[in-house]
């Protein structure tokens, strides 16, 4: 009887689910500092992937990059209230820690920091990190106080984990620039890596906020990435006048309809100041509302992210 | 002949000057990071004493505290422009690095960081650390932007040196509170020690700015410490009404004349909010101009600095 073949509804042995180890979840600052000290002893390297949860393949590409480069990966899951404006979607922001932990376990992550708001901002908290340069443009102009919240929480997470490398997505290009500036300006030690945007097969940049989109809005939202592809195509075809490129992008977006542009910019990738012609790597970025959902996207024209050198 | 006594103008051998080792002076961020990494290997502890130079016995008491507690002491000498207002004494602030190095050598310091302004604030610098709580009171109200400059440069120096302990003087009581708050809020690792005020024998708190005072102004300046001594005496005698204590302090200062009070406060030592009665340790602090020189001083009423517990 023991030699009988397995029944059809039982998976062959090589496909029997390997037990996915659920990551250890710590919730206090003292715990994560202690755990990271232990992990980092004997010169082991730590990679940090700071997230607000609601993980998608974009986040997981950062995790994979950290796993490939560092001895241990620490993922933080914290929906940071200080980077949301008073009328923004802090309360509605998608949260699903259980699903996040399953995904992180599948990607081999063993340590997650998921603190409460009170743990990160205890009573009496009063110190903020802010950038009064590139943070004033684009997202900073549309979302006053947003980057102050970002730099403050990232400074805290970097200090708690003390990673060798921290990973951010190019999707938030301006954020990555503000964080690089912070680390350099404040003489912090981690290296900052910026990883490419992960897109759906139809071009939509992955975002935790995509779940807000209705089926019809999701179709309209493709205008964002399509306008960036158009800009790339125009540059490939030799167009160097950014006013022409921007006009064509706007025309494409307006032709789709139902997409309310907040800004569209072709700019120096270090200063975010607008440029009038494509004379080297140039960042094209835009933000728009589709229905009530605010989306952002960007691309590097006349180059790639890896062409950019940051101090 | 070799048994002859030494001539009177030759010092006895035990008083022959020991060669004072001049500290090594580093001026770039990369150099100090590298040197501190070497010093801190093998779990050796580093103490940091951040100064603006023009060292006096107050600074040197911080050095001695660091030397007693840590394996190595790093002293930074940097007149930080971002903590001076546009009409303040940044240009006139006393600078004498050679004399500072002699004093530090005499106190056994072997490593000094004395960077240029451009090294600390290179082109494109745009990230600041700021406190919007206790930094808004007292000095923050009189000197807009002052504490933003202090927290920013101290964050940088802490990150560069990565000390186990950093030492500050109680003379700048509010500053020490703002820095403790920053370290706690941003999850920085150094411990912060606050050391007692060092005074001249007549009570004047040591300050690098005392050199600005004429002989007559210096006499008038004694009103500051005398008013604090009066407050201590009143509390010792059982006076608990802060309005009474403050009035008596003002009367003493006005009776001396030539001292222009900027503020005088009796406050909670953690929040710096004014208190109406002495119900526990209370900070009495004041700022005044004597001639064109701005002086500050403080004391802890109904307790001492060591009675205060900071997270």
Q: Are A286 and A227 in contact (CB under 8 A)?
A: yes
pLDDT of A189 above 60: yes
Give chain B positions within 8 Å (CB) of A133: 124, 126
Does the distance separating the beta carbons of A133 and B188 come in below 8 Å?
Answer: no
Contact B130 A135 (CB under 8 A): no
Q: What is the mean pLDDT of residues A260-267?
A: 98
Tokens of B211: 């050199």
pLDDT of residue B310: 77
- The DSSP H or E segment spanning B22 is none
Residue of B69, B232, B85 lying closest to B166 (CA atoms): B69
Contact criterion met (CB < 8 Å) for A127 and B182: yes
Residue contact B186–A133, C-beta within 8 A: no
CB-CB: which of A33, A128, A135 is closest to B132? Answer: A128
Please give the pLDDT value at position B162. Answer: 98
| Planar angle of CA A220, A50, A218, nearest 5 degrees | 10
Å between B132 CA and nearest CA of chain A = 5
Q: CA-CA distances (angstroms) from residue B55 to B107, B119, B177, B186, B241?
A: 12, 22, 22, 29, 38
- Lowest mean pLDDT: which of B10-19, B244-253, B267-276, B297-306? B10-19
Count residue pairs from A and B with Cβ separation < 8 A.
73
Q: Token match 């082109």: residue?
A: B123
Nearest CB to A127 within list B29, B181, B189:
B181
The predicted pLDDT at position A42 comes to: 87
Q: Nearest CA to CA, how far is A186 from chain B (Å)? A: 5
Quick one: tokens of A147? Answer: 């980057």
What pLDDT shows up at residue B156? Answer: 98
The gap from C-alpha A134 to its chain's centroid, in whole angstroms, comes to 18
Rounded CA-CA distance A262/A267 in Å is 16
Residues of chain B contacting A189 with CB distance shorter than 8 Å? 159
Q: What is the mean pLDDT of chain A?
A: 94
> What does the block give as tokens for A161?
């984990």
**CB within 8 A of B38, min separation 6: which ones?**
none
Average pLDDT, chain B: 94
Whether residues B185 and A135 touch (CB distance < 8 A) is answered with no
The angle formed by the CA atoms of residues A151, A154 and A156, to the nearest 5 degrees, is 110
The residue of chain A with its CA nearest to that of B32 is A187
Cα distance from B34 to chain A (closest Cα, Å)? 12
A189 touches chain B (CB under 8 A): yes
Neighbour-count burial of A90, counting CB atoms closer than 10 A to its CB (0-12 exposed, 13-18 middle, 19+ buried): middle
B178, B203 in Cβ contact below 8 A? no
CB contact under 8 A, A128 and B127: no
Q: Element (H or E) spanning B67, and its range?
A: helix B57-69
Closest by Cα among B11, B148, B5 to B80: B148
pLDDT in tens, A32-66: 999 999 999 989 999 999 999 999 999 999 999 99
Model confidence at A14: pLDDT above 60: no
Return the axis-axis angle of helices A215-236 and A242-256, rounded to nearest 10°: 160
Average pLDDT over residues A159-186: 98
What is the distance in angstroms between the Cα of A47 and the nearest Cα belonging to chain B? 18
Show Cβ contacts of residue A172 under 8 Å, excluding neighbours closer than 6 positions: A296
Produce one character per residue of B261-293: b if its CB has 16 or more CB atoms within 10 Å, e if not: bbebbbbebbebeebeebeebbbbbbbbebbeb
Chain mean position to CA A309: 19
pLDDT of residue B14: 53
Find chain A residues with C-beta within 8 A of B149's C-beta.
none
Q: Are A217 and A192 in contact (CB under 8 A)?
A: no
Q: Catalytic: which of B56, B59, B72, B189?
A: B59
Angle at B16 between CA B15 and CA B17, to 5 degrees: 105
Q: Which one of the listed residues A56, A59, A146, A189 is annotated catalytic?
A: A59
Looking at the complex, does the CB of residue A59 fall below 8 Å from at least one CB of chain B? no
User: Looking at this predicted complex, what is its ipTM?
Assistant: 0.93
Q: Is B258 helix (H, G, I), strand (E, B) or coil?
A: coil
Q: Which two tokens stand for residue A179?
A: 């964080």
Distance from CA of A66 to the nearest CA of B (A): 23
Of A29, A125, A129, Cβ closest to residue B129:
A129
Under DSSP, the state recorded for A277 is B
Residue B311 has pLDDT above 90, yes or no: no
What are the DSSP E strand ranges found in chain A? 24-26, 46-51, 72-77, 111-113, 127-131, 165-169, 191-195, 259-267, 282-290, 293-301
Confidence at A67, pLDDT banded by 50, 70, 90: very high
- Hey, of B82, B130, B158, B187, which one would you mutate to test binding to chain A, going by the most A CBs within 10 A of its CB? B187
Question: Closest Cα of chain B to A187: distance in Å?
Answer: 6
B189 is catalytic: no
Across the interface, of B127, B159, B186, the residue whose CB is closest to A127 is B186
pTM over 0.90: yes
Say if the Cβ atoms of A187 and B130 lie within 8 Å: no
pLDDT in tens, A112-139: 999 999 999 999 999 999 999 999 999 9
Q: Are B248 and B266 in contact (CB under 8 A)?
A: no
Task: Give the separation between CA A19 and CA B245, rounded to whole angstroms.
Answer: 71
Which residue segments constitute the domains of chain A, with CATH numbers given? Answer: 15-195 (3.40.50.620), 208-307 (3.30.1300.10)
The pair of structure tokens assigned to B249 is: 């302090």
Residue contact A133–B126, C-beta within 8 A: yes
Q: How far apart are the first and last CA of chain B?
A: 68
| pLDDT per position as a tens digit, A149-172 | 999 999 999 999 999 999 999 999
Question: Is A186 within 8 Å of B160 when comparing Cβ atoms?
Answer: no
Residue A156 bridge partners (DSSP): none
CB of B148 less than 8 A from some CB of A: no
Q: What is the DSSP letter of B198?
A: P
Q: What is the DSSP letter of B100?
A: H
Between these two residues, B114 and B305, which has the higher pLDDT value? B114
Residue with tokens 């205890």: A122
- All residues of chain A having their beta carbon less than 8 Å from the beta carbon of residue B134 are 126
- Asked if A125 has any chain B CB less than 8 Å from its own CB, the reply is yes
Instruction: State the smallest CA–CA distance between residue A137 and chain B in angstroms.
Output: 13
| B42 close to B16: Cβ distance less than 8 angstroms | no
pLDDT of residue A2: 43
The pair phi, psi for residue A286, each rounded to 5°, is -155, 155
Residue B232: per-residue pLDDT? 98
B160, B113 Cβ separation under 8 angstroms = yes
Q: What is the CA radius of gyration of chain A?
A: 21
For an interface test with A, the pick among B185, B268, B269 (most A C-beta atoms closer than 10 Å) comes out as B185
Closest among B43, B188, B46, B41 to B129, alpha carbons compared: B188
Chain A residues in contact with B151 by the CB 8 A cut-off are 127
Least confidently predicted of A202-206, B19-23, B286-290: B19-23
B71, two tokens:
């394996």
User: What is the C-alpha separation between A104 and A249, in angstroms, rounded?
Assistant: 37
């Amino acid at each position: 009887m023991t030699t009988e073949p397995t029944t059809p509804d039982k998976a062959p042995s090589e496909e029997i689910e390997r037990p996915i180890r659920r990551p250890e979840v710590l919730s206090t600052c003292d715990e994560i500092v202690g755990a990271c000290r232990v992990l980092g002893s004997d010169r082991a390297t730590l990679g940090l992937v700071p997230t607000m949860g609601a993980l998608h393949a974009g986040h997981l590409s950062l995790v994979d990059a950290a796993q490939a480069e560092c001895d241990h990966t620490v993922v933080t899951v914290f929906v940071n209230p200080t980077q949301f404006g008073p009328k923004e979607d802090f309360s509605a922001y998608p949260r699903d820690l259980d699903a996040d932990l399953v995904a992180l376990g599948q990607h081999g992550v063993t340590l997650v920091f998921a603190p409460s708001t009170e743990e990160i901002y205890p009573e009496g908290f009063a110190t903020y990190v802010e950038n009064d340069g590139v943070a004033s443009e684009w997202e900073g102009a549309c979302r006053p106080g947003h980057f102050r919240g970002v730099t403050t929480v990232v400074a805290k997470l970097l200090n708690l984990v003390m990673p060798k490398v921290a990973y951010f997505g190019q999707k938030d290009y301006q954020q990555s620039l503000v964080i690089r500036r912070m680390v350099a300006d404040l003489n912090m030690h981690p290296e900052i890596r910026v990883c490419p945007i992960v897109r759906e097969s139809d071009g939509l940049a992955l975002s935790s906020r995509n779940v807000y989109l209705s089926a019809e809005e999701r179709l309209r939202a493709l205008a964002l990435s399509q306008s960036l592809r158009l800009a790339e195509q125009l540059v490939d075809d030799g167009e160097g006048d950014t006013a022409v490129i921007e006009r064509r992008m706007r025309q494409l977006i307006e032709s789709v309809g139902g997409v309310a542009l907040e800004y569209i910019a072709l700019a120096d990738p270090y200063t975010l100041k607008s440029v009038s012609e494509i004379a080297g790597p140039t960042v094209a970025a835009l933000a728009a509302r589709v229905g009530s959902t605010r989306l952002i996207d960007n691309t590097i024209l006349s180059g790639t992210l890896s062409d950019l050198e940051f101090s």
